[in-house]
Amino acid sequence: MDERELLLLGLLSFQSQHGYQINEFIERNLARVTSMKKATAYAILDRLARDGYASVHTEQAGNRPPRKVYALTPRGEERFRELLRQSLVDPGESAIPGDVGLMFLDQLPRDEVIEGLRMRLARVDEQIAELEQVPPHGHGIGVDLAVEHKLVLLRADRDWLRGVITRLDAGSD
């Protein structure tokens, strides 16, 4: 399942929007739960239109360049609900950034590994502190649950990192 498609269809389910509006909303409000790039969003929006899940028309306001405005079609509404149901049931594959590097830690001196893990721990702590400052969304529970889920996972990662660092400091593997 493509969560990026789900995200874009979900945003269009609220209102018709041009690509710039969608990208700005993602960047401003959803950067904590998605890392979708603008070019990717535009490519997926065009694919959604091509596949009949979104309609697209061009608008021009004043002297601004023409913009594509996307709207959810009835077929897109069905696809959105299908993907939404799928995402609630299927946890998907868990590829955690940095895990490939963990497999090769034995190739570095132990003190360098410990220092790198401490730096990683500091970054995880920063991410936790940032997410703890996110105010409640106020419009339903979905966004709040996504932020809460990310916080729970980051806290688990933090606890795991602390344990690993302690073991490595003690000289045990």
Inter-axis angle of helices 3-14 and 38-50, nearest 10? 80
Q: What is the DSSP letter of 19?
A: H
DSSP 8-state assignment for residue 27: I
> Cα separation of 117 and 125, whole Å?
12
pLDDT at 1: 67
Q: Exposed, middle or buried, 17 (CB in 10 Å: 0-12/13-18/19+)?
A: buried
- What would you report as the CA-atom Rg of the chain, rounded to the nearest whole angstrom? 21
- Give the pair of three-digit tokens for residue 8: 């874009």
Residue extents of the structural domains in the chain: 3-89, 99-169
Q: Cβ distance 117 to 163 under 8 Å? A: no
Predicted confidence at residue 20, as pLDDT, reads 85
Q: Are 96 and 103 in contact (CB under 8 A)?
A: no
Domain 3-89 classified CATH 1.10.10.10? yes
From the CB of residue 33, how many other CB atoms can be counted at a distance below 10 Å? 16
The pair of structure tokens assigned to 97 is: 């950034």
For the chain of 173 residues, list the mean pLDDT of each consecutive stretch of 10.
88 88 81 80 93 92 86 96 90 76 89 95 94 83 87 95 95 72
